[in-house]
Structures are given as C-alpha cells and as structure tokens.
Chain A
Amino acid sequence: MIILSVDQFNAFFMISKRVFLYKLYIVFTIVIIWVLFSVVLLYNIVEIKREVLESRSLSFFSLAFAIIGTIVVGAEAFFLKDAFRKMAIWLSTILRMTLTFLLFLLVSIVLLLAYWIFRYNGELSFIQFEKNFVQKVILTPSFVMVMVDLGILSFISILVLEISDKYGPGGLRNLIRGRYHKPRKENRIFLFLDINDSTTIAENIGHEKYFNMLHDFFADITEPIIANWAHIYQYVGDEVVLCWKNTPKNKHRCLKFIKQAVEAIKKKEDYYIKEYGVAPSFKAGVHAGHVTAGYIGVIKKELVFSGDTLNTTARIRSKCHELKHTFILSIDFLHDFEVPEKFIVNEIGEMEFKGRKEKSKVYSLELN
C-alpha cells in the first residue's frame, strides 16, 4: 500500500486540467498501439492454440488488452515515468518493465476472476477454476508467448514516452502531419526567459550544482508551460525560448504563463534555498511577429524558426537588465490586445527594431 502524504495528494489532484489532458492524450495514443499489436499478436495466438481459447472471440480479447494497456500505460505516464527520472533509461526500463509486468499479472488475474464470477456464477468452485486456470492457461507455451509479447509492448510504450518527450508536446504530431515539410510563414509570439544573475549563481555554487538548479527550475515551470499551451522552442544556454501562435487568446495565455511561473517558483522558494542557497528568479522579454518555420538538418532534424522577430525578442530580453524591469513586452505584442485587468502594463521606453526607421515602444509588465 502506497501512502501519499497530504502534499503529494494535493499535488496530484492540483495538476491542472491541461496537464492531465496532455498526459491522457499520450496514454490514449499508446493504447492505440497496444490494441493494434494485440490484435496482430492475438490473432496469431488464437490461430495457434484453439484448445486454450476455444470460443473466446478476438474482440473480447482485444478489449481485455485495451483495458490492461490503459492501466499499464496510465501507471507509466502518471507515476512511474517521473519516479525514475534520475536513472539511466536502460536501468529504469528494466525496473519499470518488472513493475508493469507485475501490474499486468495482477490486472489479468482480477479480470479472469471477474470473468469466472460472471461466466460460471458459482457452478465451478474457485479452487477448481484456479487449478484449471494454472494448468490450462499459465503453463501453456502460448501464455508465455503472450507474456513476451506484452513485455515487448511495455518496452515500446516506455520508448514512445521517452521519445515524445524529446519532441515536446505536439512535436511528434506536427512531424507526422508534415506541417512544416515545406517552410511556412507564421505569426508567432516569442518569450525569452532567463534566470537572473545566472553567472553569479554559477560561480557561487559551482557548475554542477548550478546545472541541477537549472534542471529543477525548468522542471518547475513545466506545469505552467503545459497549462498555457506554450511550445518549448529551444534551450539556448541558460535561456529557454517559448512560443505560441499569435492570437489574442494566446497573448492572454502568455501573460498567464508568466504569472503562474512566478508563483510556481515562489512556492518552492524554501526548497531552493535549502538545496542551493539561493532562490532563482527570472526575467523575460516578449515579442510577436512573422517568422519562417521549417525543418532543418539531415542527421539532426529540428524544427527551426528563422527571422528577425527572434533576434528582436532576444534584444528585448537583454533590455530587462538595462531598464531594470523584470518583464518587458513589445508594442507588437500589445497591438490589438486588451490587457486583462489582473495585469498592469506601463510604457517604459523606446528601442530600435531592425528594419524600422522609427523607434518602437516597449512596456513593462507588473503582476499583482
């Protein structure tokens, strides 16, 4: 029995709807793979051992395996994946496969038990049933086959989870749909986010510890990222670049993201001070405009955004230090956008934008 502390319990139910949906979506995708495989494999198996499966239909088994798949993958995506984050993948794979295997065994026994109760309804004693079950099902070669097949499926599930993390939310789908196989012009919001005083912190606590802090920091802002539908474009040194499609709704989400990220880091302030001696804070520059998006590279294929918008955003972010404001928005971002009441926006200065004759205004964002 796993006992959750109140904190963990809250943390689990507090995860935002969007994070939950994102994980559910991944689970759903992998379950489809499971069902497809189980149809193929079970069709083979059904053909082999007619005596074992006699009158049980293929669809019944597919359904059973869809259920098992959902439970196993759900456990993977929601609990196991994060629990073994700090371990090498091959090691965590073995551990997770053992765990999912046990889980599978448990689930299948429960399913069979249910089947027995409804099917035989007391005509057969459970001991007899169990004896039958062990002799006729577990000890047959086809059951071992199924187990091996399921082991492979679990392994594939773990790999798919890992790989979808490499691509980031929506990345895999964009690749399959071929959305960017030809370069396309897009209007996007960019947010450059940077830890304050990173050089000083790195010098004080050492590079390895600093890197761990960076890792924790990015982990903590992950939830606001997913909750506000941001796309993580890339990590450049200690900086992370987020982007959205340029719509008023996404502009609102972008501001909400900043607010939630500040809160998320504040909530863990004690942890950071205990672990690293400093609590990180961050600055951000926000800008919107046209970029060309497409895949680049043959042996390392990446989705790349190219254009002056990105350089300008980086320059706006670097203005934070100069103008002594934490969050700076460009006029292009605020164009056609009514700032919600929760956020206060003040004009703080002007700056040159490449390719424009006149200077453009920049604004600060205050949270309250």
Chain B
Amino acid sequence: MTALFTIILSFIGALVCGLMPAGAHHRIRWVALAFAAAGLGVSTVCCVNYSGGEFEDFLEAEWIPSIGISFVTGYDGISLPLLLVTGLVAVCGVLFSWTLESRANQFYAFYFALIGGVYGVFLSLDLFLLFVFYEIAVVPKYFLIAIWGGARRQFAAMKLVLYSFGGSALVLLGMLAVFFLAHDASGEALKTFNLLKLQQGQVPEADQQWIFPLIFVGFAIMAGMWPFHTWAPTGHVAAPTAASMLLAGVVMKLGAYGCLRVAVGLLPAGAQDWAPWVAVVAVINIVYGALVALKQDDFKYVIGYSSVSHMGFVLLGIATLNLTGMTGAVLQMFSHGVIGALLFALVGTVIYSRTKTRMLDELHRLIDRMPGIAWVFIVAGLASMGLPGFSGFVSELYVLIGAWGSLSGWIVGGAGLGILLTFGYTLVKIHEAFFRERKTSDPGDAEISYPAMTLPEKIGVAILLGSALLIGLCPWLLTDKISLSLERMLERFPN
C-alpha cells in the first residue's frame, strides 16, 4: 500500500494546486514542492524496504470483473529505479520552475496529473490499469507544452500527442489480442489483464509473432525509437523546462518500461524472434541521434537528439535478452532520466534565463561570463557522454557487454561508433557554447557577466548530479535489485 501513495499524493497535488488562486504562485510552488518531495520520499522508502526479486507491496482488488479487469499494483526491481527517477525529476522540475508565475495553479495541476500517471504506469500490474495510467500521462503533456511552451509550441504539442496516441492505439490492439489469446498450461483461455496471471500462462507462439511488434513498437514510439522519434526533439524543445525534464526524464522511460514489462515480459518467444531487428533499430537510434545532434545549432535540440541517442542504448539493452544487457537497459533508464533532465534544466532554464538565447552561434565564451554554471554543464555533459564515475558509464558498459554476449559483432561495432560520436558531439557543443569566441564581434555584449545560480537551481543540480554520481560509484545499489527481478523474467524464456 505504501507505493500507492505516490499516485494518490500526485493526484491530490494536482487537485490542490489547481484549486489554489492563480495569483498565489509564491504559495503554489511551495505546495508543489511539498507534494513532489512527498512522492520522492515514498519512492525512496519503497526502495529502501525492497528486499529482492519478487513483487512487493502487492495490492489486488476487483475493479471491473465483468471484463476481466482488476486493480493490481506492486513493484519489483525493474520498477523501483523508475519510481525513484520519477520522484527525483518531479522535485527538480519544481525547483527549476521556481520563477514561473503565469497560470501557476494550472501548470502544477497538469504537472502533477502527468506525474501521477507516470507513477501509475510503473506500479500497475494489470495491463488495463497500466494502459489507463499511460494515457492519463499524455493529455497533460499537451497542455503543458501548448500553454507554457516556447516557439512552435502548438505544433510540437499536437505532434507529440498524436504520436503518443498512435502508439497507444497499437498497444491497445495488442493488449486485447493478448487478453483473448493467452491460455494456461492446460490450454484454457485465461481472459485476464492481470500481468502476473498472464505471465503464468502463455500466448501461442504463432500469435506472439505479430502481437510482439504491435506492442513493442507502440510503446517504443514513446521511447523515441527511430523512425518514430521525431516527436521527441520538437516536443522537448518547445516544452517549458519542467515539462521537458519530465519528457526526457520519465515519459520516454514509460515507453521503454512498457517494451520491457509488457512486450518482452509477456511475449518471450516473439521477443526472441524480433530481437535482432530491435537491435538494428536501436543502433540506428544511437548513431543517428548522435549524428543529428552534431549538426544542431539550437542547444536544446542537441540535448533533444542526444536523448534519442541515449534511448537507443535502452532499446539495445532490451534487445540483448540477457541479464547483463537488460540490467544495463534499466540502469540506463535511470541514468538518462537523471542526466537528461539535468541537461534540459541547465539549457532550458539556467542558461536560457540569463542569455535569452539557445542558439549556439550566439552563445560565446560563457566560461568567462558564467563560470560556475559552465563548469556544472561541462560536468553534466561529460556524465551524459559516459564518463566513468557517473551512472551513464556503468549502464552503457552493461549494455555493451550484454550485446557482446548475444548479438552480432556489427551491432556492437555500431554501438561503439555511436559512443565515439557521442564523445564528438558532446565536446564540440561544449566548445561551441562555452569556449568559442563569437564570429561577429559585438564588444559591448561580451563584457556582460551573468548572475550565479539561484538557490533552487543549485539544489536541483545537486540532487540530479549527486544521484548520477552516487549510482555511478555504487551501481550495486540498483543493479542488485534490478537483476534479481530480471532473472525472474528471464526464467520464463523458452529454451
């Protein structure tokens, strides 16, 4: 029951913030911070209490028995890191929106509705319930982007929502097929959406062949899978900072989590047959995302495409279908959630609010003019690049080792190329933004030095960078839990 409070608190938070008067943004942000922190607290408690392997904090109740729908929640080692990252990003999102004044009550209403949906997905153990939460998380994104976003926000918001619902349409179809086709050992139809019961039974192998791509692609659209990734950069760029942190930090993980928990978890035979294709697409994601990031002029687009590239590692990890690779995938979800959110916060709020531009050719020698912020960004950029000591290094290493074990050498080579390209664009873009002299000289402008980070920004940076560092140094804090639960999932694989 403990974990359920993350969902309940978020929705109560949405209601409370929404009902507060619009002018009271000073009070609203404290209320929002309190609710976000409470959510983080609950997920931390869950994480600390969790012992291993099985589902804990299990809750099962009848909901709509006439169509086989029950209310089942619980978490295991796969959902825990994601609960944690949701809590972290939710708190930091509030911190980095500290100065938001326009329609603050509505902003946090949508913000918490989104977070509640995300927590719900990670905790649901009933396919229908999971889908409901998954869809609940979509609509608030539209409003967050369309109301508070930047340039081209209407377009970006609509594109993001249509892509999301396109994905859910595929998932829904696959989900209904699983419901009707799954049977138990004796061949009797299960007719249930309960994930645990579905895992006990199985879907006929011939049907897994076509259901797996439906569900996998449906979820992977939200994970930014090539060629359906284009919503991600435009959406991230147009979104207000807190929303782009959530988008990159947790919403993309919803998709990856769905791929892992539902597509791979329920359809192992389908997963085995399709894994090589998934791996190919994942490598395209890694390499293509990095190449496109290299060519961007807008700092936020660079981060947007780097997200696409990093999500490729998650997909690659899932495609390995072995313990090491999949552990890496889950760890990469955590890692990119934290670091991606940090990068978006730095570019979208910390740098942009001072320079009023995100175009790389207009930024120049920021290292002199905002040294503190510049060094924080450089550290974050290196963390994203996979510097040892940060979580990104560990997770990508796990994924590559896993891929070496089960996928062809070309795939691993491609991923290695992707890592080199990641080094390339990270260093090039850091150079362009922080060290390069501006081509057109405007002597007056170059003298301006910018104010240092505010306290909320400092706290936010400390939380996100600290957790990336902590997991980078002590990955066993999470990997132990992740791999115990993944073992349970892999036990059910044929052969």
A and B associate in one complex: no
Chain A contact residues, CB within 8 Å of chain B: none
Chain B contact residues, CB within 8 Å of chain A: none
